Amino acid sequence: MADNDAWVTVAERAAIADGEMKGVTVGSQEIALYNLKGEIYATDNLCSHAFAFLTDGWLDGEEVECPLHAGRFEIKTGKGMGPPIPCDVKTIPVRVEGDNIQVKVAAS
Ligand code: FES
């Protein structure tokens, strides 16, 4: 990450219950937030296969399943779990500050 990256508040912590996910937009970046057993994680929300938002799919344990062709990604690492997925999705630094969820993105 470059030095001019910035933490940006994208959601209230209470907005994502355990086992749920939420899509947010920061500038032109589509980001998926996940709550896995109380821990918040973030990845790119766009599937690496075609145009679909992962948050329109299904959360299954520590994996998310794409709604379009059922490709699966490991949430903690962004790792694509096999065909039809051609590559991983990027994980995004995320933290909880007080009542807010923040992600680290390139400052505009
Ligand atoms: S668009 Fe996600 S698996 Fe095809």
Is any ligand 1 atom within 6 A of the Cβ of residue 79? no
pLDDT value for 5: 82
How many independent structural domains does the chain possess? 1
Is any ligand 1 atom within 6 A of the Cβ of residue 21? no
Which atom of ligand 1 is found nearest the CA of 50? 1
From the CA of 68, how far away is ligand 1's center (Å)? 5
Q: What is the pTM of this model?
A: 0.93
pLDDT tens track for 27-56: 999 999 999 999 999 999 999 999 999 999
Residue range of the domain that includes 50: 5-106
Q: Which one-letter DSSP state was computed for residue 18?
A: T
Beta carbons of 106 and 2 less than 8 angstroms apart? yes
From the CA of 72, how far away is ligand 1's center (Å)? 9
Nearest to 55 by CA among 105, 84, 86, 15: 15
Report the nearest-CA residue for atom 1 of ligand 1. 50
Which atom of ligand 1 is found nearest the CA of 54? 2
The answer to whether residue 106 scores a pLDDT higher than 90 is no
pLDDT tens track for 73-96: 999 999 999 999 999 999 999 999
CATH number reported for the structural domain that contains residue 68 in this entry: 2.102.10.10
| C-alpha 107, offset from chain centre | 18
pLDDT value for 4: 65
Which atom of ligand 1 is found nearest the CA of 85? 3
